[in-house]
Amino acid sequence: MLIGSVGNHQGAWRRPTSRVEESNDLSLFADIAQAAERAKIHTLFIADGLTLDRDQVRTKPFAGLEPITLLSALAAVTEKIGFVASVSTTFSEPYNVARQLASLDHISRGRAAWNIVTSAWGEINFGGKPLPSHSERYRIADEYVRAILALWDSWEPGSVVNDRAAGIFADPEKIHPIDFVGEHFTIAGPLNVPRSPQGRPVIAQAGSSSDGKAFAAKYAEIVFTAQQSLTESQAFYRDLREHVAAVGRNPDDVKILPGVSPILGRTEKEAIELHRELVNLIDVESGLVRLSRQLGHVDLSDLDVDGTIPAERLPDIEQVQGRQSRYGVFKQLALEEKFTIRQLIEMEVSSSGHWVPVGSVEQIADQLEERFQQGGADGFILLPSFYPEGFTYLTDELVPLLQERGLFQEEYSGDTLRERLRLPQPSPVTPLQRS
Ligand SMILES: Cc1cc2nc3c(=O)[nH]c(=O)nc-3n(C[C@H](O)[C@H](O)[C@H](O)COP(=O)(O)O)c2cc1C
């Protein structure tokens, strides 16, 4: 399984062929979605954050289009590809989001998925109260998801009857209030959108801390994650599947997708040159700010960028209130692999800590195949490092090679995203079970 995304290298837009002027233009995204669909990529994923960093926007184009709005437009110019939208459970209301995602599922005829994020920052724009702690954010998310599932199930299958002769549009006996009363949300329901084509949009989740894994085990059908090495991928893969089995779900019903941001060329030499070109386009100053934020706002300003970070500056993972698992990736690179600050900056601005293999199309295919065959992944979330060439390598060269090897679909199968991902059909929850 491959998922295309619009995440890319900080310096990529400075290449002469980049379409930076179209960063917020539907035409760019439509081209990406249609090319990904021609390649039979399962879904397009749009990440999201809820702040604007003025220093970062100085050196990196900001695609600020709101994911559900953008994906709704893309649904109109595609037919099969699925759409994953990130929406924060810390900075939104379940009723609105249930409605928006159900609408996207209707508009796309069953191709919507929700990437549940708990947000490591954003409080300045939402009332100014302090960001809830890491574990509290996951507790809120748990309640939030239960409410959303109940809302999506509030219209039983078959509730819309469209009976012209009798003058009956829908059967109110099959449309139920949810009467949800939680610690954070109180929602009467029912949802004001009829049951969507998938019943429930597919649920993706992207946190890998221990709270994140426990949450994923309960709800996720797709898990996005970030690991550097095969061994780390295998350990995460095994561990998450054990968490899933422990809550009584079938581990095969959860697709685990590590992120990969390959820098690839027709030959290894070309890929290495492209990598060098991209590294030379990095703005180290703003990269340092990004790295510091990824490390939970640790102060790095007095350190030599060509030196390493002293161990005492990096707290234990449990103390980090931001993105714990990503902090773990960078801490490991800093302390065990002895990466310099400059190397860590390169890692952050090229892929925010995702795996960045550099090589020919064939070499990248070999590495993906190895992780897939050796129990490190069910597929990948592909983060193209540069447009348009880097993306075209993925769709027009890497995918055909994986297809030749029998590792990737040659056609879409099934009518909905859920079917195309071979995920089980959720059974509609009856009102009694809901209480
Ligand atoms: C592939 C991938 C995509 C992600 N997309 C988003 C996103 O769009 N918005 C966001 O706020 N966080 C995003 N995250 C971050 C996660 O939601 C989460 O905050 C992070 O993985 C740390 O979670 P943890 O503290 O449970 O480890 C993404 C993570 C991964 C691996």
Q: Give the pLDDT of residue 255.
A: 97
The pair of structure tokens assigned to 369 is 């195949």
For the Cβ of 86 lying below 6 angstroms from any atom of ligand 1, the answer is: yes
Q: Which atom of ligand 1 is nearest to the CA of 213?
A: 26
Q: Where are the alpha helices (DSSP H) in 257-360?
A: 268-280, 284-294, 324-335, 341-351
Q: How far is the CA of 364 from the centre of ligand 1 (A)?
A: 24
Q: What is the pLDDT of residue 432?
A: 41
- For residue 259, which atom of ligand 1 is closest to its CA? 1
Tell the residue number behind the tokens 């295919």, with chain if given.
365
Q: Bridge partners of 257?
A: 224
State the DSSP H helix or E strand holding residue 182, giving kind and residue range, or none if neither: none
**DSSP-derived secondary structure letter, 397:** I
Sign of the dihedral defined by the CA atoms of residues 182, 184, 189, 192, in that order? negative
Cβ–ligand 1 distance for 82 under 6 Å, the answer no
Ligand 1 geometric centre to CA of 115 (Å): 9
DSSP state of 426: P
Taking CA atoms only, the protein residue closest to ligand 1 atom 21 is 207
Contact 380, 257 (CB under 8 A): yes
**Which residue from 86, 126, 139, 140 has its CB within 8 A of the most atoms of ligand 1, so it is best to mutate?**
86
Rounded to whole angstroms, the Cα distance separating 399 from 409 reads 9
Cβ contact 275:262 at 8 Å: no
Pocket test for ligand 1, best of 83, 138, 224, 260 (most atoms within 8 A of CB): 224
Site to substitute for ligand 1 among 2, 48, 83, 115, most atoms within 8 A of C-beta: 115
* Domain boundaries of the chain, sorted by first residue: 2-268+355-434
Cβ contact 86:115 at 8 Å: yes
pLDDT for 433? 43
Among protein residues, the one with the nearest Cα to ligand 1's atom 13 is 117
Q: Name the region of 167 (left: φ>0; alpha: ψ -120 to 50; beta: rest).
A: left
The rounded Å distance from CA 138 to ligand 1 centre is 12
- Token code pair at residue 146: 């239960």
Structure-token pair, residue 111: 């191709």
CB distance 387 to 23 below 8 Å: no
Cα separation, 146 vs 182, in Å, equals 10
Query: Which ranges of the chain have pLDDT less than 50?
Result: 1-7, 430-435
Q: Tell me if residue 421 falls in helix, strand or coil.
A: coil
**SS3 category, 255:** strand
Closest by CA to 244, choosing from 215, 210, 205, 209, is: 215
- Across the strands, what pairs with 256? 223
> Cα(382) to centroid of ligand 1, in Å?
15
Name the CATH superfamily, with its identifier, for domain 2-268+355-434: Luciferase-like domain (3.20.20.30)
Integer Cα distance of 242 and 230 in angstroms: 18
Q: Which ranges constitute the DSSP H helices of 77-187?
A: 94-107, 134-152
In the chain, the N- to C-terminal Cα span, in Å, equals 36
Q: Closest Cα to atom 12, ligand 1: which residue?
A: 117
State whether the beta carbon of 117 lies less than 6 angstroms from ligand 1.
Answer: yes
Measured in Å, residue 116 CA sits from the centre of ligand 1 at 9
**Pairwise CA distance, residues 420 & 6, whole Å:** 22
Total Cβ atoms within 10 A of residue 251: 16
Sequence-distant (≥ 6) Cβ neighbours of residue 193 within 8 angstroms:
98, 99, 102, 103, 106, 155
Contact 82, 129 (CB under 8 A): no
The whole-number pLDDT of residue 435 equals 39
- Kindly state if the Cβ of 323 falls inside 6 Å of ligand 1: yes
pLDDT for position 323: 83
| Structure token digits, residue 303 | 């350190």
pTM: 0.93
- Closest-CA residue, ligand 1 atom 23, reads 207
